[in-house]
Amino acid sequence: MNFSAKDLAAMIPPSFTLGVATSAFQIEGALDEDGRGPSGWDVFAAKPGAIVDDHSPVVACDHYHRMPQDVALMKELGIDSYRFSLSWSRIQPGGSGPVNPAGLDFYDRLLDQLLASGISPTVTLYHWDTPLPLDEAGGWMNRDTAYRLGEFAAIAAAAFGDRVARWVTVNEPATVTTNGYALGLHAPGESLLLKALPSVHHQLLGHGLALQALRAANVPGEVGITNVYSPMIPASSNPLDKLSSGLMDVAQNRLYADPVLTGKYPDVIRAATFFTSFSPSAADMALISQPLDFYGLNYYMPTRVAAGPGEGAVPPGMAEAMGDDLSGSAPGAPFHITPFPDAETTAYGWPIKPEYISVALAEMAERYPNLPPVFITEGGASFEDVVVRDRAADRILIPDERRLRYLAEHIATALEATAPGGAAESVDLRGYYVWSLLDNFEWSAGYKQPFGLLHVDFETLERTPKASYYWLQELLAARKEADAGAAASAIREPSGAGQAAAEAPAVGEASGLTGEPDPVP
């Protein structure tokens, strides 16, 4: 595939939302300021060895202080929507009880500034940074945390409900359970393996209670949940590999999507309840499966699965990126993740396979006949970026063609798949959010996995647009022109996005460097 921004713009339906996404803990910093309480992640990240090279989230991108500048960069980019999360600990420092007015004020200003910039806000209520008192009381292993999330949703609805276009209750419960409770790679650092199952149910219940609170507050915005989805591919036609890949599919995809979209846990999980005390009530399942306005799907990669114990429970290369030796992370596991022989990978070791975004959407359509409209609420790639100085033009360039190509191919493939005649034509795909606006604190991988459209120098905190930023800017401008009815096939004037956009490389072209580029130390 080789798409220029303009080719791609021509494929985008008029009401399709193009946005960027971040989360509070990954960008805000200011952990001890203005009455914010500690979160479980503050404590986890401070443990020696928990984060690669002991990187600290204390400053992160300093978004808390640089928010107006970041919104201005989004406005210049021309995005339709910004997805960000609320720091629960900033708004309700104890995770229950009193609200912190300064915390509310920060998000008030952010929302107002977004709306004044023509950007529609999508708010995630829970993106992993559980208030510490709740984590200390058992976190998601404790049913009470679900009720606390419902309460937090009511606070957020009362404060911001008038301005939020779209609410995501919980982000990627699968990652929280797998990394946080089963493998100990994320906060709260529990290694409970299969005993982590209650953390699944309590997060989904938290989703249901948050949804109920938002509806009770009559928020005008749409409400949904976000799950990460990775098509599972058996490493061979061997029945054991097929069985293993089916089990991974249950553990990573269906365990989270089935209860929300069908009101039932997958059969294999229900069969397992025969041996365990896990037995969710009909009332819980009804809360979890309330109708949604949209379903959020995070797609990054497919997963190739082989039978037998192997290296690990995360994609090869990722363990190293997280600074961990995961060879013993899932002792006795009957299967493992194995590389795609022919795939390029990101810096995280994630296989780059755009065709599988189509598989993900088609599988969702097949499994869930009542699937609501879908937003890809995250997609993107980490690559080590090279910063070069273009002396002739006296500017800094970050030619991140691989990220730009990743985005173009994934957006194009998703659009093709959901267009009439496509593999997932019944899916009502409403938008795509790029992860991420900024290079940021990538959890256990610290600052070593940059996903941003904006490069962040973590010493000076200066933001510099990468080639992918200019490419997206050109795409957005071209799409707006097309929507405005400008002659689609006529030769267009340079887009309103300015000269930088006009200079942005098409996918597959050179980086736009002129003169003698010097690597910047």
Q: Which of 140, 152, 435, 447 binds ligand IFM (CB under 6 A)?
A: 435
Nearest alpha carbon to residue 418 among 407, 433, 429: 429
Q: Which residue has the tokens 């945390």?
A: 145
Cα distance between residue 63 and residue 440, in whole Å? 10
Cα distance between residue 278 and residue 269, in whole Å? 9
Cα distance between residue 413 and residue 92, in whole Å? 41
By CB under 6 A, the count of residues binding ligand IFM is 7
Q: For residue 428, what are its two tokens?
A: 């009502």
Q: Is 88 in the site for ligand IFM (CB under 6 A)?
A: no
**Catalytic residue at 442?**
no
| Interface of this chain with ligand IFM, residues 150 to 179, rule: CB under 6 A | 172
Q: For residue 184, what are its two tokens?
A: 């100990």
CB of 12 to ligand IFM, least distance (A): 23
Q: Which of 203, 298, 345, 418 binds ligand IFM (CB under 6 A)?
A: 298
| The amino acid at 263 | G
Nearer to ligand IFM, 28 or 442 (CB): 442
Q: Which of 62, 135, 378, 474 binds ligand IFM (CB under 6 A)?
A: 378
Judged by phi (left if over 0) then psi (alpha if -120 to 50, else beta), residue 508 lies in left
Nearer to ligand IFM, 449 or 464 (CB): 449
Cα distance between residue 336 and residue 327, in whole Å? 10
Contact between residue 10 and residue 482 where contact means Cβ atoms under 8 Å apart: yes
CB of 273 to ligand IFM, least distance (A): 29
Catalytic residue among 28, 222, 363, 378: 378
CB of 26 to ligand IFM, least distance (A): 6
**Catalytic residue at 366?**
no
| Interface of this chain with ligand IFM, residues 8 to 27, rule: CB under 6 A | 23, 26
Residue 101 has, within 13 A of its CA and on its CB side, a CA count of: 0
CB of 55 to ligand IFM, least distance (A): 14
Q: Which of 442, 453, 455, 470 binds ligand IFM (CB under 6 A)?
A: 442
Contact between residue 129 and residue 92 where contact means Cβ atoms under 8 Å apart: no
CB of 226 to ligand IFM, least distance (A): 9
Q: Is 129 in the site for ligand IFM (CB under 6 A)?
A: no
Give the Å distances, CA to CA, from 520 to 82, 139, 201, 340: 31, 44, 49, 34
Catalytic residue among 28, 172, 222, 409: 172
Q: Is 363 in the site for ligand IFM (CB under 6 A)?
A: no
Where do contacts with ligand IFM occur on this chain (CB under 6 A)? 23, 26, 172, 298, 378, 435, 442
- Supply the residues annotated as catalytic: 172, 378
